[in-house]
Amino acid sequence: MSKRALITGITGQDGSYLAEFLLGKGYEVHGIKRRASSFNTQRIDHIYQDPHDPDPNLTLHYGDLSDTSNLTRIVQEVRPDEVYNLGAQSHVAVSFEAPEYTADVDAIGTLRLLDAIRFLGLEKKTRFYQASTSELYGLVQETPQRETTPFHPRSPYAVAKLYAYWITVNYREAYGLYACNGILFNHESARRGETFVTRKITRGLANISQGLEDCLFMGNLDSLRDWGHAKDYIRMQWLMLQQEKPEDFVIATGQQYSVRDFITWTAQELGISLRFEGTGTQEIGVVEAITGNVTTSVKPGDVLVRVDPRYFRPAEVETLLGDPAKAKEVLGWVPEISAREMCAEMVAADLDTARRHALLKAHGFDAPVAQEN
Ligand code: NDP
Ligand code: GDR
């Protein structure tokens, strides 16, 4: 009998990689997708199975973390061996604009799922993974951050995730549920949402290099992050549920870079040498030279990056750096893909898309480039 997993957030970056990974391990995978007015399954279309298939190993259920009865019914139907709670309103800046919704989905949604497991008497059968976050550290109390570092969340998103973290610990302690928190630091990929900083940069500069956009407008360039590759972090989510006893783990690379570094790498990948001038809201990124043989409309002296205060957050998390020592020791995990390699992979994917859009545009077809970020 194959194991059965239920993934919330299966249509997101991590959910899509995790679904692939678990299918590869022979799991029967169930995922919760939201009803939307347009298709929202692009990240999992390549593994989609026709519901008419008599014996599918991937099944999608309509649902929402804000809907208790829906979640309870899905858990009852699936009776999962493992639940991965990856669904969330996951954008920190957006959480300042939609704090109550973020709390409902990210905090109470986690409680709803845990309580469904308990209500259905599945505490001894079902293992639970909670997608916790380095944002819990917020205003950092210790560097690098480890499992014992005190939390100080700095956004409605992080405060909601703090509740989710503790309710997961509480259900473990109170009801003996096998429940773990993965405290994951930022992880990215070519499937990263377009409005998170790394993807915004690789997509934006790739578009600029193909003449589809003129300038990239950014927030805090000094922000420091510990960036890993989503593929490396997915393995960990599964590993955490395969241990003898449930524990919480920090997952990070132990390396830290600035947003400015990531912009510089991206420009280099595109064959552009970029120089930063000015400070604060006046800071700009100017083309110094075209170093590669990429066909580009960009020339020396062009301003490709400008700081726009609309992307500053009411309270910022300036620096995050994780210590993955426990994960290395207990789970034998080491990240395989460096931030720089990941950047190159993301640029290659976005450049490919930008070139196709540019080709369409050159032949008189519409190639809309969404500006919202
Ligand atoms: P994404 O934003 O790519 O994916 C979020 C997923 O949650 C999507 O499938 C989304 O559906 C779904 N979702 C959003 N709202 C609801 C809702 N109300 N009910 C049900 N599902 C919902 O996030 P990631 O894949 O990057 O992250 C996965 C999880 O890990 C999130 O919980 C995030 O907060 C957390 N995390 C992420 C880190 C990272 O660096 N990526 C680091 C640490 C934690 P739809 O596709 O329809 O929008
Ligand atoms: P983060 O990721 O807030 O760390 O949350 P994001 O990529 O959005 O921001 C990282 C840092 O870059 C700065 N920044 C900008 N960010 C965005 N999005 N857009 C900009 O234009 C911009 N300019 C500078 C931000 O201020 C910030 O300091 C991500 C999410 O995946 C969470 O769900 C997850 O929990 C954490 O990572 C770990």
CATH of residue 287's domain is 3.90.25.10
Can you give the residue range of the structural domain that contains 111? 4-184
H-helix or E-strand spanning residue 173: helix 156-175
| Mean pLDDT value of segment 115-125 | 98
Q: Is the pLDDT of residue 328 over 60?
A: yes
| 296 in the same domain as 147 | no
Residue 91, in any domain of the structure: yes
Q: Catalytic annotation on 311?
A: no
| Mean pLDDT value of segment 219-223 | 98
The angle subtended at Cα 194 by Cα 63 and Cα 14, nearest 5°, is 50
Reported confidence tier of residue 135, pLDDT bands at 50, 70, 90:
very high
| 153 in the same domain as 280 | no
CATH number, domain with residue 128: 3.40.50.720
6 burial via Cβ count (<10 Å: 0-12, 13-18, 19+):
buried
Residue 176, in any domain of the structure: yes
Residue 250, in any domain of the structure: no
| 271 in the same domain as 217 | yes
| 36 in the same domain as 172 | yes
- For the Cβ of 210 lying below 6 angstroms from any atom of ligand 2, the answer is no
Please, are residues 110 and 168 in contact by the beta-carbon 8 Å criterion? Answer: yes
Phi, psi (deg, nearest 5) at residue 225: -135, 155
Phi, psi (deg, nearest 5) at residue 46: -70, -15
| 139 in the same domain as 28 | yes
Residue 105 β-bridge partners: none
Ligand closest to Cα of 7 equals: 1
| 124 in the same domain as 202 | no
Give the residue, by CA position, lying nearest to ligand 2 atom 13. 220
- For the Cβ of 90 lying below 6 angstroms from any atom of ligand 2, the answer is yes
Residue written as token pair 């997708």 = 33
| 107 in the same domain as 14 | yes
Q: Catalytic annotation on 257?
A: no
Give the residue, by CA position, lying nearest to ligand 1 atom 41. 187
| 11 in the same domain as 155 | yes
Which residues, at least 6 apart from 51, have a Cβ–Cβ distance to it below 8 Å? 59
Q: Is the pLDDT of residue 294 over 80?
A: no
Q: Catalytic annotation on 345?
A: no
Average pLDDT, the chain: 95
Phi, psi (deg, nearest 5) at residue 96: -75, -25
CA dihedral 118, 124, 127, 132 (to 10 degrees): 50
Reported confidence tier of residue 293, pLDDT bands at 50, 70, 90:
low
Name the residue of 16, 75, 90, 192 whose CB sits within 8 Å of the most ligand 1 atoms, as the mutation to test its pocket.
Answer: 90
Please, are residues 305 and 215 in contact by the beta-carbon 8 Å criterion? Answer: yes
Active-site residue, from 27, 84, 157, 165: 157
Q: What is the pLDDT of residues 147-205, one digit of tens each?
A: 999 999 999 999 999 999 999 999 999 999 999 999 999 999 999 999 999 999 999 99
| Mean pLDDT value of segment 216-228 | 98
Q: Is the pLDDT of residue 289 over 80?
A: yes
Residue 346, in any domain of the structure: yes
Cα 175 from Cα 170, distance rounded (Å): 8
For the sheet with 284-290, list strands across it: 216-218, 303-307, 284-290, 272-277
Q: What is the pLDDT of residues 34-84, one digit of tens each?
A: 999 999 999 999 998 887 888 889 999 999 999 999 999 999 999 999 999
| Mean pLDDT value of segment 314-326 | 98
| Confidence (pLDDT) at 261 | 98
Which atom of ligand 2 is least distant from the CA of 219?
Answer: 23
Residue 319, in any domain of the structure: no
Residue 127, in any domain of the structure: yes
| 220 in the same domain as 165 | no
Tally of domains in the chain: 2
| 165 in the same domain as 139 | yes
| Confidence (pLDDT) at 291 | 86
Reported confidence tier of residue 367, pLDDT bands at 50, 70, 90:
low
Task: Give the count of beta carbons closer than 10 Å to the beta carbon of residue 327.
Answer: 24
In this predicted complex, what is the ipTM?
0.99
Which atom of ligand 1 is least distant from the CA of 34?
Answer: 47
Ligand 1 center to 354 CA (angstroms): 25
- For the Cβ of 12 lying below 6 angstroms from any atom of ligand 1, the answer is yes
- For the Cβ of 186 lying below 6 angstroms from any atom of ligand 2, the answer is yes
Residue 246, in any domain of the structure: no
Which atom of ligand 2 is least distant from the CA of 131?
Answer: 35
Q: Which long-range contacts (CB under 8 A, 24 or more apart) does 200-204 make?
A: 200/373, 201/259, 201/262, 201/263, 201/266, 202/266, 202/343, 202/346, 202/347, 202/349, 202/350, 203/350, 203/353, 203/354, 204/373
| Confidence (pLDDT) at 280 | 92
| 207 in the same domain as 164 | no
Angle at which helices 109-119 and 68-78 cross, to 10°: 50
Residue 325, in any domain of the structure: no
| 81 in the same domain as 128 | yes
- For the Cβ of 133 lying below 6 angstroms from any atom of ligand 1, the answer is yes
What separation in angstroms does the CA of 116 have from each of 82, 211, 338? 13, 51, 39
Q: Range with the lowest mean pLDDT among 124-133, 215-224, 259-268, 285-294?
A: 285-294
| Confidence (pLDDT) at 297 | 78
Of 124, 154, 184, the one marking the end of a domain is 184
Percentage above 90 pLDDT, the chain: 92
The structure tokens listed for 251 are 């997952």
